[in-house]
């Protein structure tokens, strides 16, 4: 059955409302994170990488690059800054000394974690209003959203990398000088 014009309009309006709500939530999350980062004396992106380490546990720089979509070179800088701030440490693998893991310094990370406690309590109250089926839907949505954002990050990096090449290729050649 083909949707009626009014149901198509209603769906378009609902999708726009959802997009706006997600954008507001995302923007507020960025502002919240930046506020915490400012207090912690690190950058917002370094704080986000620290959160990935919280989620992933002890990982290699390669794994951190994989889950963030950043290059291994960028991750090296992140880890250097987080290590200098006392939030992580590098640990050599006991069985393969060439392999280095990035591990959290729990007592220092806990100092940052206190800034999230009230938000976590509030979110748990919000989640408590949903049924298990609704929570599974939200989990699927959030997981698909992460995968989509990771792919979009890769596409953005490729687009940015291609831009200088396109500029060079599209520039008109300078006329030869006449002597």
Q: Give the pLDDT score at 178.
A: 61
Report how far residue 41's alpha carbon sits from residue 35's, in angstroms, rounded to the nearest whole number.
10
Residue 76 C-beta-side C-alpha neighbours within 13 Å: 3
Average pLDDT per block of 10 residues along the chain, 179 residues long: 78 96 96 97 96 95 94 95 97 88 97 96 97 98 95 93 74 62
Q: Give the pLDDT score at 51.
A: 96
Q: Give the pLDDT score at 118.
A: 97
Contacts of residue 73, Cβ cutoff 8 Å, sequence gap at least 6: none
Q: Give the pLDDT score at 173.
A: 65
């Amino acid at each position: 059955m083909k949707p009626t014009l009014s149901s198509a309009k209603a769906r378009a309006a609902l999708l726009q409302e959802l997009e706006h709500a997600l954008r507001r939530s995302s923007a507020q999350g960025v502002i919240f994170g930046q506020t915490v980062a400012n207090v912690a004396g690190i950058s917002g992106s370094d704080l986000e990488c620290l959160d990935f380490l919280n989620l992933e546990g002890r990982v290699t720089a390669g794994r951190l690059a994989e889950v963030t979509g950043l290059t291994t070179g960028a991750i090296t800088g992140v880890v250097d800054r987080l290590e200098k701030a006392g939030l992580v440490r590098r640990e050599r693998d006991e069985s393969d000394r060439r392999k280095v893991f990035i591990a959290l310094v729990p007592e220092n990370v806990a100092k940052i974690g206190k800034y999230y406690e009230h938000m976590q309590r509030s979110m748990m109250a919000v989640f408590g209003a949903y049924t298990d089926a609704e929570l599974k839907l939200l989990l699927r949505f959030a997981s698909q959203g992460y995968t989509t954002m990771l792919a979009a990050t890769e596409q953005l990096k490729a687009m940015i990398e291609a831009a200088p090449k396109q500029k060079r290729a599209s520039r008109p050649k300078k006329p030869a000088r006449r002597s």
